[in-house]
Amino acid sequence: MRSLSRVGIVLGLLLLSSMAAAKQCMVQEEPRGSALAGGSSAGGTARQKSWVARYPLRPAGSVSVENVQGDVRVEAWDRAEVEVAVLKRALGPSANPDDVRIEVESDGSKLAVRATYPAPSEEPVRVDFRLRVPRQVQLERLRTVVGDIRVRDIEGMVNARTLNGNIEEMNITGGVVARVLNGNIAVSLRSLAEGSAPVEMETVNGHLYLGLPAEANADLQLSTVAGRVDGNYSFKVSEVPGDASWRTTLGRGGAKVRLRTVRGDIHVAESEELL
């Protein structure tokens, strides 16, 4: 009976600890530490709301941000934690920043930040995110629908996408996947990632600018339907029937670099020319 009692106690403690861990994993926006600014509307609603919080993240951990209306900015720092700064602004007299919830999921190795909107409104709330992250991080998923994405000084994979906006990634060491529907993409690489990490840039209506490190070893494939390709490298049209892309091999080749736009120009040069 005593052994069964001890087993029950142990199981109970394990259950409580697992429940506590699960509770710590999901953190929702809290009012403490937030700041209200910009006055109030006729209904007494704050026009603007901001807050800042920090979450621990181990080296080479992953970060994702999902937004709808607003910018996403990420920059590196030399700390084993992520600082998340959020600014919510009403875009119309009837919009209420409190209607948009900011959810943060963190377990020490992954951090996911998400803006959750109510039903679509003609007067939406704009949410801008600014994150400071460990330098060696995996930015697995940066998303917004209307807004720009800017990333600086990251030594890891960067996967970014916006429908209407621009993507700018400067001083990156690692793989890059950047996709836009309407907007430009500018990427400056400090070095090309070894192995199978891709460099893929794609837009439909916009220009592409890629800065490569000096003496890069890469295989480039560039494609534009209504635009031109230029830079300080020698490109030639593919000899494969039906393939109208431009190709070139830099150095020994190796890293796969693919750039594609439908209506826009492509410019490829050494990184210093884009800074």
Average pLDDT estimate for 21-42: 42
Tell me the three state secondary structure of residue 251.
Answer: coil
Q: What pLDDT score was predicted for residue 23?
A: 39
Q: How many CB atoms lie within 10 A of CB 251?
A: 12
Strand order across the beta sheet in which 46-56 lies = 35-40, 46-56, 81-90, 125-134, 72-77, 149-152, 167-173, 185-191, 208-212, 266-270, 229-231
Question: Of all helices (H) and strands (E), which one includes residue 116?
Answer: strand 110-116
Tell me the three state secondary structure of residue 22.
Answer: helix
Between the ranges 61-65, 223-227, 246-250, where is the mean pLDDT highest? 61-65
**233 pLDDT band (50/70/90 cuts)?**
confident
Task: Answer whether residue 174 shows pLDDT above 70.
Answer: yes
Q: How far is CA 144 from CA 2, 48, 148, 186, in A?
A: 57, 20, 8, 17
Question: Of all helices (H) and strands (E), which one includes residue 15?
Answer: helix 2-25
From the CA atom positions of the chain, what is the Rg in Å? 23
**173 pLDDT band (50/70/90 cuts)?**
very high
Task: Answer whether residue 112 shows pLDDT above 90.
Answer: yes
**63 pLDDT band (50/70/90 cuts)?**
very high
pLDDT tens per residue across span 71-90: 999 999 999 999 999 999 99
Separation CA 205–CA 212 (nearest Å): 23
Task: Answer whether residue 31 shows pLDDT above 60.
Answer: no
Mean pLDDT of all residues belonging to the chain: 84
Report the percentage of the chain scoring pLDDT > 90: 61
For the ranges 43-57, 78-92, 178-192, 247-261, the lowest mean pLDDT is seen at 43-57
Extract the tokens encoding 27.
């953190």
Backbone angles phi, psi at 85, to 5 degrees: -115, 130
Q: What pLDDT score was predicted for residue 15?
A: 36
Q: How far is CA 11 from CA 24, 205, 227, 256, in A?
A: 20, 58, 66, 52
Q: What pLDDT score was predicted for residue 273?
A: 55
Task: Answer whether residue 169 shows pLDDT above 50.
Answer: yes
Task: Answer whether residue 5 shows pLDDT above 60.
Answer: no
Q: What pLDDT score was predicted for residue 235?
A: 82
